[in-house]
Structure 1
Amino acid sequence: MGKNVVHKPFFNILFQFLIIIIIILVVSESRFCLAEPKDTVPANFVFGDSLVDAGNNNYIVSLSKADFAPNGIDFGQPTGRYTNGRTIVDIIGQEIGLSGFTPPFLAPTTGGLTVLQGVNFASGGGGILNHTGKIFGGRINLDAQMDNFANTRQEIISRIGDAASNNLLQNALFSITIGSNDFINNYLTPCLSKLDQKLVPPELFVAAMISRFRLQLTRLYSMGKKIVSRFENPNSACCQVAGRFGGLIPCGPTSKVCEDRSKYVFWDAYHPTDAANAIIAMRLINGDLADIWPINIKQLMAQSHMG
């Protein structure tokens, strides 16, 4: 009788929120479409967690890292990506014609003219809420990622001026991939939030999370961005140490790695393989309303081309 009861509606909301990808694209007088020449494609600015981190956590003191084998096995070496190869945003960048991969914000080489092609601010362990992921120590949550973007924006303005900066940012691709850590490594972590779970009903936690996310999106919108779509992703595994599905211990140097990674949905307990990321990316680009809402990336770019 006195026990907390988590109702089904909460779990419906939770699993809808576990992995969120919001693709943001603002267009004014741009003229670009998939696979057009380099000088007609937008810059790419990436926010999120380990699903899209391209190596930012390599440069901070954190327990959440992927700078060791077998991560990056299909790159030939670890890159800081939490998968065997490319992330979803890597693949989307390739499909829209960007040259190379969007560099991590904290990499020493990310600066100067490089930022005009976009920057990846994502961080493994990061979340919508600022106390999310504290079990890892260092991580860059969404508010801090937006602070880093604000600094990058100022760098762009100082380099090419107000008018050119506005044009670049208004025609850039922005994505946010975040939300799972706020549950997995916050509210649902017993050693961190047992008291919170007793004092804060799950519905209120979700409401607080959504409220915070709304403020963050409003902040991004105030810098000239416009939200146009959402995507939700399931789970699975390939690099494993223990557990029936390889989900008890994170992927590491002693893990067993599957031979054909193209047959696996997830690289480890949380992160998709390159093959799964490719499917997700293509469904974001070409999918119907069951995949991305209200229109897909290709349709959005076609509208821009016509406008």
Structure 2
Amino acid sequence: WAQYSAQEALVAICQQAKVQLTLFHGRGGTIGRGGGPAHAAILSQPPGSLSGGLRVTEQGEMIRFKFGLPKLAQRSLALYASAVLEGVLLPPPEPKAQWRELMAQLASTSCEAYRAVVRHHPEFVPYFRAATPELELGQLPLGSRPPKRNPNGGVESLRAIPWIFAWSQNRLMLPAWLGAGSALAEVVKQGGTELLHEMRAQWPFFATRLSMLEMVYLKADAQIAEYYDEKLVPEHLKGLGVSLRAQLQADTTLLLKLIGRDELMANESWIRESIMLRNTYVDPLHILQVELLKRVRHAPETVNDNIKRALMVTIAGIAAGMRNSG
């Protein structure tokens, strides 16, 4: 919402100064870093923000999925071009004042809920490091920069890619959904369900946000996250994992109720089938990864190059199956 508001302000200032504005979008591969279907994402931009064209940078691991073959590249470029044309010729509506007010409330509530866990929960950092392969990710070449801005810092010093990558490895997908469901639940509790329905039906920006949440919930897997906790997390930290998985389930149930469906991505069956098909191959990698992490952490004297290499292969394989690293 902060990005949307900033883009609106830039459009207004540039129109006033008669300067052509071209926004350069640096989207990541994951939902938590701006990823998702390009066509829907472009059409959810503020009115007027596409009049000067569009520039984008693709996340490294997404390049081969979108441009690795000639026909894939043609399709990806066609999606970009058609979305920009539609956004210019048939711009989305200006959000109503009550939509803006509710969106600001949602953003504030979700931010508070997110920070309450990530910044203020005393057990969060040790839980994060036990439940994910965050420490082991330092051995992988993730992009051109080191995983941490400050090698001795905590979670706040992690760069965005390893932060999101780590949570996709244990399938909790935490950064992409934490806080969103709590904010929606608060609005529903206050009697704002009809307004949420109106925003979803008439405002592409909000509809796209809910659609991205739906996809994240489908990719997340509480059972696999629980398996990581069971095998890797110390007993005194497991309560936080239980709480987070319960929140994920509650948020998923609430979203399904809001959109009036019985299962996630039911209206995008090809996406649902693609994710479920990949899970068939990814799920065994999680079992293998947990076993390898146990050996690396608890019996380092038995660890050789083959075990280290196998662990790196599971990390890369899960990232490929999830279609994102960060």
Structure 2 length as normaliser, TM-score?
A: 0.31
Structure 1 length as normaliser, TM-score?
A: 0.33
Higher relative contact order (CA 8 A, sep 6+): 1
Structure number, greater radius of gyration: 2
